[in-house]
């Protein structure tokens, strides 16, 4: 990780492209030529479920309940969430134990208004420490869910300054003197002074984020404002949050996950051959397998989140007659675009969100529109279906101008340019995923920047790495020296790097001072070192 002038980018980029293929070889056991030739459409290995799987498009789409505040006085909405074990019937007739927010997967949705602060008191009744991060939130550092800011469960108060690394198994007992540990509960305060969008909250504990999300610790958080409400977009029953996540099921109905330590207490990481990412063979939407939803022949607003640990999707909507419907993108991770962008295929990487309008008018009543994943095969090709039930009036619209407040940072605004490589490597004597050649260390400051400064970052990948910055949104400037792709439009907080690709982003570090993170949102990569500290002073 180093700063440099603009001239040195290309040769370095080319070099990392080749190194990337070698990194892939190290990660998956492929030969270098096979890795280069294959240009894989995904990174990771798929677990097979050991229980019978239901046919697609039978279970109805659940909509996560909206959480009621316990108090709304004093200009703040206060919520309480208990993190606890629960069991759910995800597959028909199969009981699956989960780790949950408030007993459900996904957790309850929080609905909030721009600029109206929300405080969530999380109570940890799980058997392990937890950390809550609101992904995409413009949040003061104390509430941003730094991975060592643990909430300890009952009976684990002895571990007061341990980050969660065990001292056995060759772990290095990494110590973080800045960690703020709380016992049993913690209040997270979110000012939500930010563009309206779909956020999500999930566990972010040091070394164990991937298995904790996999077990169910994820929920949605929607921010709205009056300007967006006034646009006339589809709303109410015609606005659907869709949390897409893959999972696999063991013979006893539990979620299968190849953790080295199934108690998720001491030893982080996953077994071979899942080091590059854990994929499931069941596609869940809002916690239901390949669900179906009955719709009117009208426009719908789909608020899509890819909450998968490692699986990428390329979504398309296809009617029973074989017609591909337009996916009209109106928003990105960090809110509304300037104007709509129409896609036939929409790639979505882990942690990305897309705000999309689909119009079911013209689809024959009684027939279906399937949402498919072009990157899947067999059962993972299907995502969900919509059954068009009835004709209806539709007074919704898609304005040609959606927003006028997107930042317009230019390269010449940048105080500096930084380079980061995201590559496979060695850590703690085993396989790791490294940023700039280094595995995450909470005690090392990787980037120091001043509040209010604009920077250009060049991100270079070996395999797929969806890169996420905490606190700030950014714009995509280029991909491998070319223009950004259509789905890079708007303000992002996660950008999907493809194998061998270099992506330039530009952002302004504003909001709050303090210690933040940037990391890969392939959750297995994140747990195996691919995070770095971002100190805003």
CA angle 71, 75, 76 (to 5 degrees): 50
Closer to Cu ion by CB, 27 or 292: give it: 27
Instruction: Report the C-alpha gap between 356 and 371 in whole angstroms.
Output: 13
Selected binder of Cu ion within 156, 525, 533, 536 (CB under 5 A): 525
Closer to Cu ion by CB, 286 or 522: give it: 522
Closer to Cu ion by CB, 507 or 522: give it: 522
Closer to Cu ion by CB, 77 or 524: give it: 524
Closer to Cu ion by CB, 202 or 343: give it: 202
Residue 522 touches Cu ion, criterion: CB under 5 A = yes
Query: Residues binding Cu ion: what is the number (CB under 5 A)?
Result: 4
Interface stretch with Cu ion, choices 32-40, 137-145, 207-215, 517-525 (CB under 5 A) = 517-525
- In angstroms, what is the minimal distance from the CB of 466 to Cu ion? 7
Name the token pair of 84: 């606890």
- In angstroms, what is the minimal distance from the CB of 346 to Cu ion? 21
Residue 423 touches Cu ion, criterion: CB under 5 A = no
Q: How far is CA 413 from CA 410, 453, 476, in A?
A: 5, 9, 15
- In angstroms, what is the minimal distance from the CB of 428 to Cu ion? 17
Instruction: Report the C-alpha gap between 470 and 47 in whole angstroms.
Output: 30
- In angstroms, what is the minimal distance from the CB of 499 to Cu ion? 11
Closer to Cu ion by CB, 331 or 350: give it: 350
**Nearest to residue 201, comparing CAs of 255, 137, 142, 245?**
137
Residue 215 touches Cu ion, criterion: CB under 5 A = no
Closer to Cu ion by CB, 20 or 253: give it: 20
- In angstroms, what is the minimal distance from the CB of 398 to Cu ion? 34
Closer to Cu ion by CB, 431 or 465: give it: 465
Burial class (CB in 10 A: 0-12, 13-18, 19+), 109: buried
Burial class (CB in 10 A: 0-12, 13-18, 19+), 93: exposed
Closer to Cu ion by CB, 300 or 457: give it: 457
Name the token pair of 267: 């030893």
Instruction: Report the C-alpha gap between 187 and 119 in whole angstroms.
Output: 6
**Cα(first)–Cα(last) distance of the chain, in Å?**
19
Please check whether residue 440 is in contact with residue 495, taking contact to mean a CB–CB distance below 8 angstroms: no
Neighbouring CB atoms inside 10 A of 52's CB total 10
Sequence-ordered list of residues with C-beta below 8 angstroms from that of 421, at least 6 positions apart, any chain: 16, 434, 435, 436, 437, 460, 461, 462
Closer to Cu ion by CB, 299 or 465: give it: 465
- In angstroms, what is the minimal distance from the CB of 421 to Cu ion? 11
Residue 308 touches Cu ion, criterion: CB under 5 A = no
Residues numbered 427-466 forming contacts with Cu ion, rule: CB under 5 A: 465
Largest CA distance in the chain: 65
Interface stretch with Cu ion, choices 82-90, 249-257, 300-308, 520-528 (CB under 5 A) = 520-528
Interface stretch with Cu ion, choices 245-253, 352-360, 497-505, 523-531 (CB under 5 A) = 523-531
Residue 213 touches Cu ion, criterion: CB under 5 A = no
Closer to Cu ion by CB, 357 or 531: give it: 531
Closer to Cu ion by CB, 25 or 520: give it: 520
Residue 370 touches Cu ion, criterion: CB under 5 A = no
- In angstroms, what is the minimal distance from the CB of 397 to Cu ion? 39
- In angstroms, what is the minimal distance from the CB of 532 to Cu ion? 12
Residue 143 touches Cu ion, criterion: CB under 5 A = no
Closer to Cu ion by CB, 30 or 159: give it: 30
Residues numbered 459-498 forming contacts with Cu ion, rule: CB under 5 A: 465
Q: How far is CA 61 from CA 235, 241, 242, 477, in A?
A: 17, 10, 9, 37
Residue 519 touches Cu ion, criterion: CB under 5 A = no
Residue 334 touches Cu ion, criterion: CB under 5 A = no
**Nearest to residue 457, comparing CAs of 442, 445, 446?**
446
Sequence-ordered list of residues with C-beta below 8 angstroms from that of 167, at least 6 positions apart, any chain: 173
DSSP for 279-290? E-SEEEETTEES
- In angstroms, what is the minimal distance from the CB of 223 to Cu ion? 27
> What's the CA dihedral at 433, 436, 439, 440 to 10 degrees?
-120
Residue 306 touches Cu ion, criterion: CB under 5 A = no
Interface stretch with Cu ion, choices 23-31, 74-82, 265-273, 514-522 (CB under 5 A) = 514-522
- In angstroms, what is the minimal distance from the CB of 53 to Cu ion? 28
Report the sign of the C-alpha dihedral through residues 504, 508, 509, 512, in that order.
Answer: negative
Interface stretch with Cu ion, choices 156-164, 295-303, 441-449, 522-530 (CB under 5 A) = 522-530
Residue 520 touches Cu ion, criterion: CB under 5 A = yes
Please check whether residue 203 is in contact with residue 521, taking contact to mean a CB–CB distance below 8 angstroms: no
Interface stretch with Cu ion, choices 69-77, 164-172, 393-401, 524-532 (CB under 5 A) = 524-532
Convert 295-306 to b/e letters by CB count within 10 Å (16 or more is b).
bbbbbbbbbbbb
Residues of the shown chain interacting with Cu ion in the complex, contacts defined by CB under 5 A: 465, 520, 522, 525
């Amino acid at each position: 990780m180093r700063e440099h002038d603009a001239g040195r980018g290309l040769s370095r980029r080319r070099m990392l492209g080749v190194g990337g293929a070698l990194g892939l070889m190290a990660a998956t056991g492929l030969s270098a030529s096979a890795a280069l030739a294959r240009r894989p459409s995904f990174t990771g290995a798929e677990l097979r479920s050991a229980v019978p799987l239901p046919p697609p498009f039978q279970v109805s789409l659940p909509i996560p309940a909206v959480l009621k505040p316990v108090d709304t006085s004093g200009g703040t909405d206060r919520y309480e969430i208990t993190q606890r074990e629960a069991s759910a019937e995800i597959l028909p007739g199969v009981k699956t134990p989960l780790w949950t927010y408030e007993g459900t997967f996904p957790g309850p949705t929080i609905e909030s208004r721009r600029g109206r602060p929300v405080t969530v008191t999380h109570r940890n009744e799980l058997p392990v420490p937890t950390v809550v991060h609101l992904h995409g939130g413009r949040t003061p550092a104390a509430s941003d869910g730094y991975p060592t800011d643990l909430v300890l469960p009952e009976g684990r108060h002895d571990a007061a300054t341990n980050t969660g690394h065990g001292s056995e198994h060759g772990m290095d007992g990494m110590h973080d003197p800045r960690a703020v540990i709380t016992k049993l509960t913690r209040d997270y305060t979110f000012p939500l002074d930010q563009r309206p969008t779909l956020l999500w909250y999930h566990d972010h504990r040091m070394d164990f984020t991937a298995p904790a999300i996999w077990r169910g610790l994820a929920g949605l958080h929607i921010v709205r404002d009056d300007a967006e409400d006034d646009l006339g977009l589809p709303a109410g029953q015609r606005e659907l949050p869709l949390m897409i996540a893959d999972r696999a099921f063991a013979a006893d109905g539990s979620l299968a996950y190849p953790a080295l330590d199934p108690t998720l207490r001491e030893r982080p990481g996953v077994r071979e051959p899942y080091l590059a990412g854990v994929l499931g063979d069941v596609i869940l939407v809002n916690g239901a397998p390949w669900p179906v939803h009955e719709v009117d022949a009208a426009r719908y607003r789909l608020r899509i989140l890819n909450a998968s640990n490692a699986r990428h999707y390329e979504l398309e909507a296809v009617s029973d007659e074989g017609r591909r419907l337009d996916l009209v993108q109106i928003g990105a991770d960090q809110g509304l675009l300037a104007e709509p962008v129409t896609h036939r295929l929409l790639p979505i990487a882990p942690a990305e969100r897309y705000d999309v309008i689909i119009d079911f008018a013209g689809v024959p009543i009684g027939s279906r529109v399937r949402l498919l994943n072009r990157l899947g095969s067999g059962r993972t090709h299907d995502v969900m279906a919509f059954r068009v039930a009835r004709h209806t009036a539709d007074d919704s619209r898609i304005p040609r101008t959606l927003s006028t407040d997107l930042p317009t940072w230019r390269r010449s605004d940048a105080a500096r340019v930084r380079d980061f490589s995201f590559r496979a490597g060695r850590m703690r004597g085993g396989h790791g995923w490294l940023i700039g050649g280094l595995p995450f260390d909470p005690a090392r400051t990787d980037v120091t920047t001043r509040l209010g400064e604009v920077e250009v970052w060049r991100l270079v990948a070996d395999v797929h790495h969806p890169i996420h910055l905490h606190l700030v949104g950014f714009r995509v400037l280029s991909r491998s020296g070319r223009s950004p792709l259509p789905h890079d439009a708007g303000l992002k907080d996660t950008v999907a790097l493809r194998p061998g690709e270099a992506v330039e982003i530009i952002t302004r570090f504003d909001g709050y001072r303090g210690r933040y993170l940037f990391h890969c949102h392939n959750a297995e990569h994140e747990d195996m070192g691919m995070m770095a500290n971002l100190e805003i002073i």
